[in-house]
Protein backbone atom coordinates (compact mmCIF):
# COMPACT_ATOMS: atom_id res chain seq x y z
CA UNK A 1 0.00 0.00 0.00
CA UNK A 2 1.42 3.37 -1.02
CA UNK A 3 1.24 6.31 1.40
CA UNK A 4 -0.98 9.24 0.49
CA UNK A 5 1.93 11.58 1.23
CA UNK A 6 5.21 11.58 3.13
CA UNK A 7 6.29 14.09 5.78
CA UNK A 8 10.04 14.01 5.13
CA UNK A 9 10.53 10.37 6.18
CA UNK A 10 7.15 9.70 7.83
CA UNK A 11 4.62 7.98 5.54
CA UNK A 12 0.96 8.91 6.02
CA UNK A 13 -1.64 6.42 4.84
CA UNK A 14 -4.84 8.30 4.17
CA UNK A 15 -5.57 11.97 3.62
CA UNK A 16 -8.20 12.99 6.19
CA UNK A 17 -7.01 14.53 9.45
CA UNK A 18 -8.75 15.85 12.57
CA UNK A 19 -7.77 19.45 13.31
CA UNK A 20 -6.02 20.07 16.61
CA UNK A 21 -8.81 21.62 18.69
CA UNK A 22 -8.61 22.52 22.36
CA UNK A 23 -10.97 20.39 24.41
CA UNK A 24 -11.85 18.05 21.55
CA UNK A 25 -8.67 16.54 20.06
CA UNK A 26 -7.87 14.45 23.12
CA UNK A 27 -6.88 10.79 23.26
CA UNK A 28 -10.40 9.32 23.56
CA UNK A 29 -11.73 11.17 20.53
CA UNK A 30 -8.56 10.75 18.48
CA UNK A 31 -8.75 6.99 19.05
CA UNK A 32 -12.32 6.95 17.77
CA UNK A 33 -11.42 9.04 14.74
CA UNK A 34 -8.45 6.83 13.93
CA UNK A 35 -10.73 3.80 14.07
CA UNK A 36 -13.03 5.55 11.60
CA UNK A 37 -10.22 6.26 9.17
CA UNK A 38 -8.36 9.40 10.27
CA UNK A 39 -4.84 9.25 8.84
CA UNK A 40 -2.69 10.85 11.55
CA UNK A 41 -3.09 12.40 15.00
CA UNK A 42 -2.47 15.99 16.04
CA UNK A 43 -2.49 16.66 19.77
CA UNK A 44 -4.24 19.67 21.19
CA UNK A 45 -1.97 22.69 20.92
CA UNK A 46 0.37 23.25 23.89
CA UNK A 47 2.22 26.39 24.93
CA UNK A 48 5.98 26.68 25.00
CA UNK A 49 5.80 28.18 28.50
CA UNK A 50 3.77 25.26 29.83
CA UNK A 51 6.38 22.89 28.50
CA UNK A 52 9.33 24.85 29.85
CA UNK A 53 7.66 25.12 33.25
CA UNK A 54 6.97 21.37 33.08
CA UNK A 55 3.33 22.04 33.79
CA UNK A 56 1.63 18.69 34.35
CA UNK A 57 -1.61 19.70 32.65
CA UNK A 58 0.29 20.87 29.58
CA UNK A 59 2.41 17.73 29.36
CA UNK A 60 -0.68 15.53 29.79
CA UNK A 61 -2.02 17.01 26.55
CA UNK A 62 0.89 15.32 24.79
CA UNK A 63 -0.14 11.81 25.89
CA UNK A 64 -0.79 9.47 22.99
CA UNK A 65 -1.26 5.79 22.24
CA UNK A 66 1.17 3.88 19.96
CA UNK A 67 -1.76 2.94 17.71
CA UNK A 68 -2.15 6.63 16.85
CA UNK A 69 1.13 6.92 14.98
CA UNK A 70 2.04 8.99 13.12
CA UNK A 71 1.53 11.50 15.94
CA UNK A 72 2.14 15.23 15.64
CA UNK A 73 2.73 17.44 18.67
CA UNK A 74 1.57 21.02 18.06
CA UNK A 75 3.17 23.88 19.96
CA UNK A 76 2.72 27.64 20.02
CA UNK A 77 4.85 30.47 21.32
CA UNK A 78 6.36 33.83 20.43
CA UNK A 79 9.96 33.57 21.60
CA UNK A 80 12.46 31.96 19.22
CA UNK A 81 14.79 30.50 21.80
CA UNK A 82 11.99 29.29 24.05
CA UNK A 83 10.19 27.58 21.17
CA UNK A 84 13.39 25.79 20.22
CA UNK A 85 14.08 24.70 23.79
CA UNK A 86 10.48 23.53 24.29
CA UNK A 87 10.62 21.51 21.07
CA UNK A 88 13.86 19.86 22.18
CA UNK A 89 12.15 18.87 25.42
CA UNK A 90 9.02 17.38 23.84
CA UNK A 91 11.01 15.54 21.19
CA UNK A 92 12.14 13.28 24.04
CA UNK A 93 8.51 12.09 24.31
CA UNK A 94 8.98 10.53 20.86
CA UNK A 95 6.42 12.15 18.59
CA UNK A 96 6.73 11.46 14.88
CA UNK A 97 6.39 15.14 13.93
CA UNK A 98 6.43 18.53 15.69
CA UNK A 99 4.17 21.28 14.32
CA UNK A 100 4.39 25.02 14.99
CA UNK A 101 0.99 26.71 15.29
CA UNK A 102 0.84 29.94 13.27
CA UNK A 103 -2.93 29.92 12.89
CA UNK A 104 -4.46 30.39 16.34
CA UNK A 105 -6.60 33.55 16.19
CA UNK A 106 -7.42 33.91 19.91
CA UNK A 107 -6.70 37.50 20.92
CA UNK A 108 -4.71 36.67 24.07
CA UNK A 109 -2.42 34.47 21.98
CA UNK A 110 -2.20 36.11 18.55
CA UNK A 111 -2.10 39.58 20.07
CA UNK A 112 1.07 38.65 21.93
CA UNK A 113 2.83 37.43 18.79
CA UNK A 114 2.13 33.71 19.06
CA UNK A 115 -0.14 31.63 16.83
CA UNK A 116 -1.30 33.79 13.90
CA UNK A 117 0.68 36.64 15.44
CA UNK A 118 3.84 35.05 14.06
CA UNK A 119 2.59 35.76 10.53
CA UNK A 120 3.43 39.42 11.13
CA UNK A 121 7.12 38.51 11.25
CA UNK A 122 8.09 36.15 8.40
CA UNK A 123 11.82 36.52 9.06
CA UNK A 124 11.27 35.32 12.62
CA UNK A 125 9.39 32.30 11.28
CA UNK A 126 12.36 31.56 9.05
CA UNK A 127 14.81 31.71 11.95
CA UNK A 128 12.63 29.43 14.11
CA UNK A 129 12.29 26.79 11.41
CA UNK A 130 15.95 27.00 10.44
CA UNK A 131 16.96 26.26 14.02
CA UNK A 132 14.38 23.52 14.55
CA UNK A 133 15.10 21.69 11.32
CA UNK A 134 18.80 21.77 12.18
CA UNK A 135 18.61 20.35 15.68
CA UNK A 136 15.54 18.09 15.77
CA UNK A 137 15.55 14.52 14.54
CA UNK A 138 11.85 14.55 13.73
CA UNK A 139 10.26 16.52 10.87
CA UNK A 140 9.03 20.03 11.64
CA UNK A 141 5.82 21.33 10.07
CA UNK A 142 3.70 24.46 10.27
CA UNK A 143 0.02 25.38 10.30
CA UNK A 144 -0.71 28.85 8.94
CA UNK A 145 -3.49 31.23 7.98
CA UNK A 146 -3.41 33.50 4.92
CA UNK A 147 -2.06 36.44 6.88
CA UNK A 148 -3.01 38.79 9.69
CA UNK A 149 -5.71 40.62 7.70
CA UNK A 150 -6.73 41.45 4.13
CA UNK A 151 -3.96 44.03 3.84
CA UNK A 152 -1.23 41.56 4.82
CA UNK A 153 -1.99 38.33 2.99
CA UNK A 154 1.57 37.00 3.03
CA UNK A 155 0.81 33.27 2.82
CA UNK A 156 2.99 32.68 -0.25
CA UNK A 157 5.95 34.46 1.31
CA UNK A 158 5.51 32.49 4.54
CA UNK A 159 5.07 29.18 2.70
CA UNK A 160 8.30 29.68 0.74
CA UNK A 161 10.15 30.71 3.89
CA UNK A 162 8.91 27.59 5.65
CA UNK A 163 10.07 25.31 2.85
CA UNK A 164 13.42 27.10 2.46
CA UNK A 165 14.09 26.69 6.20
CA UNK A 166 13.37 23.00 6.49
CA UNK A 167 9.61 22.63 7.01
CA UNK A 168 8.37 19.23 5.86
CA UNK A 169 4.65 20.07 5.48
CA UNK A 170 2.37 23.10 5.56
CA UNK A 171 -1.27 23.06 6.68
CA UNK A 172 -3.17 26.08 5.40
CA UNK A 173 -6.39 27.46 6.88
CA UNK A 174 -7.97 29.51 4.11
CA UNK A 175 -8.78 32.58 6.23
CA UNK A 176 -6.82 35.49 7.69
CA UNK A 177 -6.52 35.99 11.41
CA UNK A 178 -8.93 38.92 11.32
CA UNK A 179 -11.61 36.68 9.81
CA UNK A 180 -11.42 34.26 12.73
CA UNK A 181 -13.92 31.61 11.53
CA UNK A 182 -16.25 34.01 9.71
CA UNK A 183 -16.65 34.55 6.00
CA UNK A 184 -15.68 32.09 3.32
CA UNK A 185 -12.41 30.13 3.30
CA UNK A 186 -10.27 31.00 0.28
CA UNK A 187 -9.44 27.71 -1.42
CA UNK A 188 -7.74 29.57 -4.29
CA UNK A 189 -5.05 30.67 -1.83
CA UNK A 190 -4.54 27.09 -0.67
CA UNK A 191 -4.11 26.08 -4.32
CA UNK A 192 -1.49 28.83 -4.74
CA UNK A 193 0.47 27.48 -1.78
CA UNK A 194 0.33 23.96 -3.22
CA UNK A 195 1.71 25.24 -6.52
CA UNK A 196 4.42 27.31 -4.83
CA UNK A 197 6.10 24.59 -2.75
CA UNK A 198 7.27 21.02 -3.21
CA UNK A 199 6.45 19.76 0.28
CA UNK A 200 2.99 18.34 1.16
CA UNK A 201 0.17 20.84 1.72
CA UNK A 202 -2.90 20.17 3.86
CA UNK A 203 -6.05 22.14 3.07
CA UNK A 204 -8.27 23.40 5.89
CA UNK A 205 -11.41 25.50 6.07
CA UNK A 206 -15.09 25.16 5.13
CA UNK A 207 -15.09 21.38 4.84
CA UNK A 208 -18.61 20.90 6.17
CA UNK A 209 -19.74 17.69 4.45
CA UNK A 210 -18.41 14.75 2.47
CA UNK A 211 -18.88 16.51 -0.86
CA UNK A 212 -16.65 19.34 0.39
CA UNK A 213 -13.79 16.89 0.88
CA UNK A 214 -13.68 16.05 -2.81
CA UNK A 215 -14.29 19.68 -3.78
CA UNK A 216 -11.34 21.03 -1.80
CA UNK A 217 -9.10 18.29 -3.17
CA UNK A 218 -10.04 19.09 -6.76
CA UNK A 219 -9.89 22.84 -6.22
CA UNK A 220 -6.54 23.00 -4.44
CA UNK A 221 -4.66 19.83 -5.36
CA UNK A 222 -3.85 19.48 -1.64
CA UNK A 223 -2.26 16.30 -0.34
CA UNK A 224 -4.64 15.99 2.58
CA UNK A 225 -7.68 17.60 4.16
CA UNK A 226 -7.87 18.80 7.75
CA UNK A 227 -11.39 18.79 9.22
CA UNK A 228 -12.29 20.73 12.33
CA UNK A 229 -15.77 21.68 13.50
CA UNK A 230 -17.52 19.34 11.04
CA UNK A 231 -15.78 16.37 12.66
CA UNK A 232 -16.84 17.16 16.24
CA UNK A 233 -19.47 14.61 17.23
CA UNK A 234 -19.23 13.14 13.75
CA UNK A 235 -16.24 10.80 13.30
CA UNK A 236 -18.20 9.16 10.47
CA UNK A 237 -16.92 11.96 8.23
CA UNK A 238 -13.65 9.99 8.12
CA UNK A 239 -15.70 7.15 6.59
CA UNK A 240 -17.09 9.59 4.02
CA UNK A 241 -20.54 9.64 5.62
CA UNK A 242 -22.63 12.74 6.27
CA UNK A 243 -24.62 13.14 9.50
CA UNK A 244 -27.92 12.23 7.85
CA UNK A 245 -26.43 8.93 6.70
CA UNK A 246 -25.84 7.69 10.25
CA UNK A 247 -28.72 5.95 12.03
CA UNK A 248 -29.78 7.22 15.44
CA UNK A 249 -29.11 3.84 17.02
CA UNK A 250 -25.56 3.88 15.68
CA UNK A 251 -25.04 7.32 17.19
CA UNK A 252 -26.34 6.07 20.54
CA UNK A 253 -23.89 3.17 20.56
CA UNK A 254 -20.95 5.44 19.79
CA UNK A 255 -22.05 7.96 22.41
CA UNK A 256 -21.95 5.16 24.99
CA UNK A 257 -18.51 4.01 23.88
CA UNK A 258 -17.07 7.51 23.70
CA UNK A 259 -18.39 8.24 27.18
CA UNK A 260 -16.83 5.03 28.46
CA UNK A 261 -13.47 5.99 26.94
CA UNK A 262 -13.67 9.42 28.56
CA UNK A 263 -14.36 7.94 31.98
CA UNK A 264 -11.59 5.37 31.61
CA UNK A 265 -9.09 8.11 30.73
CA UNK A 266 -10.19 11.01 32.95
CA UNK A 267 -12.04 9.23 35.76
CA UNK A 268 -15.79 8.88 36.24
CA UNK A 269 -16.76 12.39 37.38
CA UNK A 270 -14.40 14.45 35.20
CA UNK A 271 -15.03 12.15 32.24
CA UNK A 272 -18.76 12.89 32.38
CA UNK A 273 -18.24 16.64 32.71
CA UNK A 274 -15.81 16.76 29.77
CA UNK A 275 -18.06 14.56 27.65
CA UNK A 276 -21.04 16.90 27.87
CA UNK A 277 -19.67 19.18 25.15
CA UNK A 278 -19.16 16.14 22.90
CA UNK A 279 -22.64 14.70 23.34
CA UNK A 280 -24.33 17.94 22.30
CA UNK A 281 -22.40 17.70 19.02
CA UNK A 282 -23.39 14.08 18.41
CA UNK A 283 -27.08 15.01 18.40
CA UNK A 284 -26.73 17.92 15.97
CA UNK A 285 -29.20 17.58 13.11
CA UNK A 286 -31.43 15.15 14.96
CA UNK A 287 -35.11 16.16 15.31
CA UNK A 288 -35.76 18.44 18.31
CA UNK A 289 -32.10 18.29 19.38
CA UNK A 290 -32.26 21.88 20.65
CA UNK A 291 -34.82 20.79 23.24
CA UNK A 292 -32.49 18.10 24.53
CA UNK A 293 -29.29 20.13 24.77
CA UNK A 294 -30.11 22.07 28.00
CA UNK A 295 -30.70 18.80 29.87
CA UNK A 296 -27.52 17.15 28.59
CA UNK A 297 -25.20 19.97 29.61
CA UNK A 298 -26.38 19.57 33.21
CA UNK A 299 -25.93 15.79 33.44
CA UNK A 300 -23.65 14.66 36.24
CA UNK A 301 -23.58 10.90 35.61
CA UNK A 302 -23.18 8.57 32.65
CA UNK A 303 -26.50 6.90 33.47
CA UNK A 304 -28.31 10.24 33.15
CA UNK A 305 -26.74 10.97 29.78
CA UNK A 306 -27.60 7.55 28.36
CA UNK A 307 -31.12 7.62 29.81
CA UNK A 308 -31.89 11.04 28.34
CA UNK A 309 -30.46 10.18 24.93
CA UNK A 310 -32.12 6.75 24.74
CA UNK A 311 -35.58 8.01 25.71
CA UNK A 312 -35.21 10.87 23.25
CA UNK A 313 -34.39 8.53 20.38
CA UNK A 314 -37.28 6.24 21.32
CA UNK A 315 -39.68 9.21 21.13
CA UNK A 316 -38.28 10.22 17.77
CA UNK A 317 -38.75 6.69 16.42
CA UNK A 318 -42.33 6.53 17.68
CA UNK A 319 -43.08 9.89 16.13
CA UNK A 320 -41.59 8.81 12.79
CA UNK A 321 -43.57 5.57 12.85
CA UNK A 322 -46.89 7.30 13.56
* Burial (Cβ within 10 Å: 0-12, 13-18, ≥19) of residue 144: buried
CA distance 90 to 60: 12
Q: Which of 104, 209, 222, 299 is catalytic?
A: 104
Contact by Cβ (8 Å): 67, 42: no
CB 91 within 8 A of CB 98: yes
CA distances for 130 relative to 139, 141, 149, 162, 166, angstroms? 12, 12, 26, 9, 6
Q: Label the pairing between strands 97-102 and 71-76.
A: parallel
**Contacts of the segment 298-302: beta carbons below 8 A, 24+ positions apart:** 299/272, 300/269, 300/272, 300/273, 301/272, 302/259, 302/260, 302/263, 302/268, 302/271, 302/272
Q: Give how far the C-alpha of residue 120 lies from the chain's centroid of Cα atoms, to the nearest Å.
A: 23
Q: Is 104 annotated as catalytic?
A: yes
The residues annotated with a catalytic role in the active site are 104
Amino acid sequence: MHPSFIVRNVPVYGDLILSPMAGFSDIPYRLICREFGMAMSYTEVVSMDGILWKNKKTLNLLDFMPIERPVTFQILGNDEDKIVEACRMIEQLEPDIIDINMGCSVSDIAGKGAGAGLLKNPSKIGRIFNKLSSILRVPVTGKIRLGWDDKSRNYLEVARILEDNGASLIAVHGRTRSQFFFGKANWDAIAEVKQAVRIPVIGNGDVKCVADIERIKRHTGCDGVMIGRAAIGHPWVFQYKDRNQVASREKIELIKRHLSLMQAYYGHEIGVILFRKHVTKYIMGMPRATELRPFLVKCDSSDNIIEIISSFVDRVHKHEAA
